[in-house]
Structure 1
Amino acid sequence: MKNFRRPDPLFSLCGLNCGLCTMYIGGYCPGCGGGEGNQACAIARCSLNHGGVAYCIDCEAYPCEKYQGIELVDSFILHRNQRKDLEKMKTIGLDAYQKELHEKMELLSRLLSDYNDGRRKSFYCLSVNLLEMNDLEDVMKQIEEKTGEMELSGKEKAKTAVEAFERKARSRGILLRLNRKKQTQAEI
């Protein structure tokens, strides 16, 4: 696995949007196959064992057992859209998917620079990951209209943004929280 590299480190083999991840944004991970990231990744090993497929969806065994229940538990990054995002990429094409991912990354960057009170990185990463681009654009328009009307502190701007994202997510039946694995009594 050492020196495993991919031409697109921002959208992983398995469908994670690395470019929208708190670890990537924080500089702790270079993205999927981008260098010193998760070199022990079982999905990367599997790809190499299946002819070096660029994305799991291109593999003849997809969806394999690795995808059973994958959307039920998140880690530090959202897992619930992996299959959906792989299928979207396959439907609209890699170029169109990458273009949208870069637009989402730019929007996320704007949120973190203009509407972050220092405690919203994970929330914004989730929001941008889970909502469709047209919903994100709608929310940004609402936020900019509301915050442009008056002089607000960073904390007030963040509160306005969070409320707007939560309203939009609720209207779509989306919960803006990571699904954490419940600990059993033995693990506690």
Structure 2
Amino acid sequence: MKGFTRSDQLLSLCGLNCGLCTMRLGGYCPGCGGGEGNQGCAIARCGLDHGGIAYCWQCGEFPCQRCQNDEYDSFITRRNRLRDLEKARRMGMEAYWAEQRERRGILEFLLERYDDGRKKTLYALAANLLELEDLRRILERLSEESSGLSAKDQAALAAGLCREAAAGREIDLRLRKPPGKSGK
């Protein structure tokens, strides 16, 4: 969208954790306001209309209906957008970015070492939705339990640990799709 640019490529205007997006990691997306050819976004237009705010929480109308429409996911989860915006506001951007960089490092590690070609979405959802201590614990257990396993079994172990941590917090590690569309 013309006139819409951002320097923060870890957290979008609306609260998506772009740094944890598989499309962004794969080089298929320049990020929110990060380059030529970005498609129009109603929230980006709204941000421009409200003085070019960097994050929706800076708007006097936050949280508005536009921010709360999180029933379905696209290629990245939208489940925690409001929570993550509030968290970033509360802890400050430097601390939030530090946490996001750690999450991104964990996601990249899982993709590099434990992806059998079928776990990208699962690991991205885990990195987005699980608590940081859960992710750290998963890495510890992988370090302890994965040596000597085949690559396929290592990927199954990593996926199982992610699902186990998610079940303990009642989190579903599948993208939410509208009825009639398949989810992973």
Matches within 5 A, 1:78-157: 78-148=77-147, 151-157=148-154
Q: Secondary structure at the match of 2:14?
A: coil
Match of 1:45 in 2: 45
**Aligned equivalents of 2:150 and 2:42: distance in 1?**
45
**Aligned equivalents of 1:104 and 1:128: distance in 2?**
6
Amino acid of the structure 2 residue aligned with 1:52: G
Per-residue deviation at 1:37?
Answer: 5.7
Per-residue deviation at 1:71?
Answer: 2.6
**In percent, how many aligned pairs have the same letter?**
51
Match of 1:174 in 2: 171
**Aligned equivalents of 1:22 and 1:74: distance in 2?**
13
After TM superposition, the score normalised by the length of structure 2 is 0.94
Structure 2 gap ranges (5+): none
Instruction: Tell me the C-alpha RMSD between the 2 structures.
Output: 1.4
Q: Deviations over 1:40-74 (max 9, x none)?
A: 01111111100011000110111112023x23211
Match of 1:22 in 2: 22
Amino acid of the structure 2 residue aligned with 1:145: E
Q: Secondary structure at the match of 2:146?
A: helix
**Aligned equivalents of 1:53 and 1:4: distance in 2?**
10
Per-residue deviation at 1:170?
Answer: 0.3
Match of 1:56 in 2: 56
Amino acid of the structure 2 residue aligned with 1:119: R
**Aligned equivalents of 1:152 and 1:183: distance in 2?**
38
4+ long deviations beyond 4 Å: none
Amino acid of the structure 2 residue aligned with 1:118: G
Structure 1 gap ranges (5+): none
